Amino acid sequence: MFNPNRRHVTWLLCVFCVVLTIVSAFVPEDSLFLDCGGSKALKLDDGRVFEPDSGNRLVGLSPHSHIVVSNSEMGKTNGSVLYNSARVFNETSTYTIVTKQMGRRWLRLHFHPVENPHYHLKSAVFSVEANGITLLYGFSFAKLDKESCLLKEYVMEVGGSSSEELELTLSPCTGSNAFINGLEAVSLPYGQFPSSALPIPLGPAVEIPAHVAFETAYRVNMGGPVITPKNDSQWRTWESDGFFLVNAASARNVTVNPSSIKYLSGVSTEIAPNLVYATAQEMGDANVIDQRFNISWAFEVESMFSHLIRMHVCDIISLSLGTLFFNVYINNQSALDSFDISSKTLELSAAYFVDFVANVSVGSNRMLVQVGPLDLRYLPPNAILSGLEITKMSNPSNGLVRNLGTDDIMILLCEFMTGGPLRKHLYGSDRPPLTWKQRLQVCIGAAKGLHYLHTGAAESIIHRDVKTTNILLGENLTAKVADFGLSKLGPSLDQTHVSTAVKGSFGYLDPEYFRRQQLTEKSDVYSFGVVLIEVLCVRPAINPALPREQVNIAEWAMKWQKGQLEKIIDPYLVGSVDLESLRKFGETAEKCLAEQGTDRPTIGDVLWNLEYAFQLQEASRQIVSDENSANYIPDIPQWVPQAGTAESDGAHSVIYQESSTTTSRGVFSQLMHPKGR
């Protein structure tokens, strides 16, 4: 039966809850919204009011040359009148913003190249700094793909070790302009960004100093729609996660009523709105028998920077506590093991978050975040994730960009390799020849470098130009792979190859890649096989001065695979090479030069075989003296060189003719089991 008094009590409770919400809601001490170049206040549908940047008592603008451009006929550009005007600077200029309170600030910069007959802002090139921290360097809309409006979001410290004011400096490149359409500077709630976080790989918590600046890279709502600033108390935007899912079939979105989400101590709507915690991705059926798979999200990030990763989790799928356990991985490394969210919240549908700091390897621009189940017989496998934030952290040189120098010049710092390129140690110079042991060590070092490129980061890197001039030697002949000008990111998890135009050096090019324009890590393996033959035979990969059948070193060497390889090795090595070591080396080179990429070994297998060949060489020296060794190659007849020698690319090649008295065993195809195997 309807009771009017009950309705009255319910109404009072609702009012009480609303009052509590209003009282507890964060009110920023500083909140400045500027319409740069605007002439009147602009109110957006999310409640923000952008005031003109001129005449504002809290804002100073350096008196350098600047003008206003606008296009009132455009109306709303991308849903916002904020982008209808811009302030343009012909020389370095600074906004000085007076603050009431020390602490961190949201700093949001809005850019849109307003069309104007006198200024082509789309081609403008400029840099931006805030309190001495570089935010943008050599930025231009001309470098972006189809972007018409751009919002860059940062977190900056004001006070403490920096200025009591927030200074934003825009510096146009020589002969260009700088511009900005809108600016936001808003205080953050205390504790919004952590003072420490768990490192990846796991270890003791790492400190995050207050002076560190952040740039938002991704803010993602798992299993739910886009969340606009209108529905976030901090005016943030949350993307949907569909674009980042590696395999959509592995995940299934779940949703509950946002009003059911509970905020416990240390978590508030300022951390993330309830719309984030009310949705999640859980493990999908995926139509597989073995349900122990991970849900994976992949993100492109900048290498050489640390990133703060905040994971939002809310158990909206369990019926009781203690029934959901899962693992979390970042860049294929364990972040949370056997994670039980109920042990943290002691309630279901309670918001929770955890912070990590992860570095991205040099050469990699991919960050992989995964959740996966435990192998527990008494519980069904499952794993969830509600939201994810990835923010780039400023480096020790106070920057959020990698560029160095001026005038848009990129500087690459490299270790000086005193030994120069490997080729100079093989032929074309007066340097002493390398011993067999030294050649093995150099090849092993180069293989280690390629192995790191292929497997050492979240996403593999294909060098595409492996050759003896791109292997540099340092002190003690330490080998380093160099020259990454043609390097290409390898195929993603769901791909077998990268389709791309053919690039590389003739003589080293993978024939399968050349025919099909399909690049894989095995293309580097083929090129490295050519390097191995070059190390063995001390002649260029391509020598047009030689007879036609001898021009290409790989094709030429393969013709000797039926048992004559000893006849084309560097004469300097005769008498010092263990036959078993040579066989293992030759076998490895032959497999690298297989016509089909699927028949070639991985670079890891190549590395193992080269190390084994080195061990065989070392073991033979310990067992048999140099003067009495039946297993070395002094018994091989000294072949008379073919009339004439060939010069190519500074290289000197000597070809040996077969003798009718030879009894040498095969090296490539007629292999014996090596000693110690």
Most confident segment among 324-328, 422-426, 582-586: 324-328
Place of tokens 């938002």: 216
CB-side exposure of 541: number of CA atoms within 13 Å? 20
Q: How many Å apart are CA 24 and CA 18, to the nearest integer?
A: 10
Residue 402's pLDDT is what?
62
- Give the C-alpha separation, 125 to 150, whole Å: 15
| CA quadruple 33, 34, 39, 42: dihedral sign | negative
Threshold 0.75, pTM exceeds: no
Q: Does position 222 have pLDDT exceeding 70, yes or no?
A: yes
Question: 3-class DSSP state for residue 618?
Answer: helix
pLDDT of the residue at 146: 66
- Distance of alpha carbon 431 from alpha carbon 571, whole angstroms: 16
For residues 268 and 452, the model is more confident at 268
Residue 309 confidence class, pLDDT cut points 50, 70, 90: very high
The C-alpha angle 632, 633, 634, rounded to 5 degrees, equals 105
Question: Annotated catalytic residue: which of 465, 510, 570, 578?
Answer: 465
Residue-level pLDDT at 19: 33
With pLDDT > 90 as the criterion, what percentage of the chain qualifies?
43
pLDDT on residue 671? 30
What mean pLDDT do residues 90-102 have? 89
First to last CA, the chain: 88
Q: Rg of the chain over CA atoms, in angstroms?
A: 32
Q: How confident is the model at residue 458 (pLDDT cuts 50, 70, 90)?
A: low
Return d(Cα 674, Cα 238) in angstroms, integer.
Answer: 60
Task: Give alpha helix (H) positions in 290-435.
Answer: 342-345, 423-426
Could you give the C-alpha distances from 228 to 71, 153, 184, 219, 262, in angstroms and in order? Answer: 26, 14, 16, 11, 21
Query: What is the distance between the alpha carbons of residues 315 and 672, in angstroms, rounded to a whole number?
Result: 61
571, two tokens: 């004469």
Average pLDDT, the chain: 80
DSSP string, 401-424: S---SSTT---------TTEETHH
Report yes or no: 312 and 402 within 8 Å, Cβ to Cβ: no
- For residue 370, pLDDT beyond 90: yes
CA–CA separation, 519 and 597 (whole Å)? 10
pLDDT band at 543 (very low <50, low <70, confident <90, very high): confident
Instruction: Check: CB of residue 648 under 8 Å from CB of residue 540.
Output: yes
Residue 279 confidence class, pLDDT cut points 50, 70, 90: very high
pLDDT of 250 over the 70 cut = yes
465 is catalytic: yes
Q: Is 530 helix (H, G, I), strand (E, B) or coil?
A: helix
Mean pLDDT of 38-52: 91
- 636-670 pLDDT per residue, tens: 333 333 333 333 333 332 222 333 333 333 333 33
- Mean pLDDT along residues 479-506: 78
Widest Cα–Cα separation across the chain: 116
Name the superfamily (CATH) of residues 196-393.
Galactose-binding lectin (2.60.120.430)
d(CA 48, CA 120): 29
Average of per-residue pLDDT across 405-419: 55
Confidence of residue 72 (pLDDT cuts 50, 70, 90): low
pLDDT at 577 over 70: yes
Bridge partners (DSSP) of residue 165 are 98
- For residue 403, pLDDT over 60 is answered with no
Q: Report which secondary-structure segment, H or E, holds 634.
A: none
Q: Say if residue 94's pLDDT is above 80.
A: yes
| Burial state string for 616-644 with b = 16 or more CB within 10 A and e = fewer than 16 | bbebbeeeeeeeebeebbeebeebeeeee
Residue 74 has pLDDT above 50, yes or no: no
CATH topology identical between 31-187 and 488-653: no
Mean pLDDT of 280-295: 74
Cα distances (angstroms) measured from residue 426 to each of 63, 524, 531: 64, 21, 11
Crossing angle of helices 579-592 and 436-455, rounded to 10° = 30
Whether residue 123 is predicted with pLDDT greater than 80 in this model: the reply is yes
Strand order from edge to edge, sheet including 479-481: 420-421, 471-473, 479-481
Read off the DSSP letter of residue 508: T
Domain 488-653 indexed as CATH 1.10.10.10: no
| Coil, helix or strand at residue 330 | strand
User: pLDDT tens digit string along 142-152?
Assistant: 888 666 889 99
pLDDT at 475 over 60: yes
Domain boundaries, the chain: 31-187, 196-393, 488-653
Kindly state the percentage of the chain with pLDDT values over 70: 78
Residue type, 96: T
Q: Which CATH architecture has domain 31-187?
A: Sandwich (2.60)
- Comparing 431-440, 562-571, 634-643, the range with the smallest average pLDDT is 634-643
pLDDT value at position 390? 98
